[in-house]
Amino acid sequence: MTQDTLRKRAQETLSKLTLEEKCNQLLHEAPGIERLGIKPYNWWSEALHGVARCGRATVFPEPIGQAATFDPELSRRIGEAVSTEGRAKFNIAQQIGNYGEDAGLTYWSPNVNLFRDPRWGRGMETYGEDPLLISRMGVEFIRGMQGDDPAFLKTAACAKHYAVHSGPEKLRHGFNVNPAKRDLFETYLPAFEACVKEGKVESVMSAYNAVYGDSATGSHYLLTEVLRDKWHFKGHVVSDSCAIEDICTGHHLAKDYAEASALSITAGCDVDAGWCHHSLYEAVQRGLCSEADVDRALLNAYMTREKLGILLPDDESPYRNYGEEVIECEAHRALAREAARKGMVLLKNDRTLPLRKDLESLYVGGAYATDTFALMGNYYGISSRMVTYLEGIAERVSAGTKIYHMVGFQGTCPNLNPINYAIREATLKDVAIVSLGVSGLLEGEEGDAIASTNVGDRPDLRIPEHQLEFLRQISKDHKNKIVAIVSGGSALELDEVCRLCDAVIFCWYPGEEGGTALADVLFGDANFSGRLPITFPTSDQALPPFEDYSMEGRTYKWQTEGIQFPFGYGLSYGHVSYRDVAVVSHDADNVTVAVTLSNTSRCAVDEVVQIYVATPWAGQLLPNSTQHVANQQLVAFQHVVLAPDEEQTVQLTIPLTRFATVDAEGERQLVPGRYVITASAAAPCQRSRELGVEMVNTQISL
């Protein structure tokens, strides 16, 4: 079977349809056409970190937690597991006649938007603030989801939300963004480009917001000139949910739904994740678009269904026979545990961790110690065996250890009872483990975070005051050790938490094996290797206005002050020293950098080596530009496993294109001059130096 054969089959099927049938097939709830043997198909399914909203499935860590692993190969394995379960669930759904939402094979994942501001409620769905990290994680997830057959797709992945989309949630249906071309091509688009060119992603989802005055769902510039003409995208474009309606009701760029539908089709959007294409037939009749426009869009959509082997019954797909035995199988649970463990970030450890398993007594409490929702994050499936933090800890310690559990405080609301027995119990135990932070009640999409006062976004980065008050109470005498287990999908203000506690672990939303994974690192059965995929500011006061889409002052590339924990930061139970970084070779395509690492500790360490480059114009204004060039940019990273007392010299080969600077017109150029190359355990900045981050640098002239 070849792609050409599939295309001919799709064209043949399309030729048999009436215009009205064609228009209806471009709705996300595409009806069946019984006379042709075409079954109903719903394009809407989700799989950000497991098959979502479709019953039982393995729940992996939220993508921001996956990004903290800095492990693209792990992302690919997660994609493979998710698509395997997705195929099985699709097969079973077909058998019982379930053709509804979330039962298909076109998964609207991954979210490769840039997490430019930690207040954005949906940032948890992304792979962080760096274009390279997002690209590498996203591309590998797509490869895992789509499989490696030359003709057929295992499932169809979707890179969303294209483009320049990252809040505020309450403005997204009418917000217009006018990014500088440099920001557009240097920051907002690279992950999408990589997903198209390297990942061969089958689908791209357009965003709600407008860009340069045109709805992203009706932007000929974004959907045709850049996506198809410049990047040669071959798949289908789907709108965000009801985004075509927004062209009319939110952006006021169309007089009615028929005009909005026509604008989206002619711009390059194919499938309507909504109901606006009910007016598409009328749009053709009124001459707003042509039947040829509809045919082009439907052929893109039908090609995806042909590659999935589901437009008409197809026995040639190699992915058609997965059964229920793969859903939440032990291999997938083990992978979820590995991902959760590798994504947890140790931010402070004052000689407290790892804990002994034979402690005499232990307090485990806080808002999320027994809360399964704090494991799940956003766009989640349902696991039949969620392991909470309390359960994971209880399973790991000695049977002789006394564990006292009392919640102590809620996640969102202050205590009403002035008497709180948990304070006394926490202070009397050898170690108090306190689970705090936020959950999907306080951050998420516009209608999901029901406790949010900001329509899903966070108005600030503070941990709720009553949670901090509990820590203050139990730390007054500080006779025992206090370990903070922090939940959340974004940066939080952690200065006071770090002052009050002896150890601080950031767990994100770690998925169904969160409790087991926590116990792995808490008691030293595994070492920490997670690194922050976003900068943690000291407070939201260190950030530019949320509505400002300029990258000045944002992320590790431009932010210089108000940094609590830098991008790429994370501790372990060992220490690795860096020395002798050097350029060992370079040619017209690549630069190869070597650095020597020494594990000076008595435990094995999984170190994430990060290579940053400062261009000749770092921190300065390019000629004819009003924007400062980034202070540095991540150009490579690699995991290095070091045995106790082991030394390794590691070589990383880096494409020279990653050294380029984007000019004011959005064009990449390799500026002649001296480049500073830094091998580091976190983004180079003054705060990294204060935290004792290992870093060494060298120079190269290009």
Query: What amino acid positions are annotated as catalytic residues?
Result: 240
The residue among 291, 314, 307 whose CA lies nearest residue 14 is 291
What stretch of H or E contains 701? strand 695-701
Are the C-beta atoms of 308 and 155 separated by less than 8 Å?
Answer: yes
In 136-184, beta strands by DSSP E: 158-162, 176-177
Token pair belonging to 173: 């249906």
Residue 551 makes CB contacts below 8 A (sequence gap 6+) with: 116, 183, 186, 187, 557, 558, 627
Q: How many CB atoms lie within 10 A of CB 434?
A: 28
Phi, psi dihedral angles at 700 (to 5 degrees): -145, 140
Residue with tokens 């939080």: 492
How far apart CA 259 and CA 264 sit, in angstroms, is: 9
Residue with tokens 């545990």: 337
Please count the CA atoms within 13 angstroms of the CA of 296 that sit on its side-chain side. Answer: 16
Q: How many CB atoms lie within 10 A of CB 257?
A: 22
Residue with tokens 């990273």: 637
Burial 542-552 (b: 16+ CB within 10 A, else e): bbbebeebbbe
Strands 647-655, 661-662: parallel, antiparallel or unpaired by DSSP? unpaired
SS3 label, residue 660? coil
Q: How many CB atoms lie within 10 A of CB 20?
A: 11
Instruction: List C-alpha distances in Å: 254 to 210, 215, 218, 285.
Output: 13, 10, 10, 17
SS3 label, residue 436? strand
In 516-663, beta strands by DSSP E: 536-537, 563-565, 576-586, 590-599, 605-614, 633-642, 647-655, 661-662
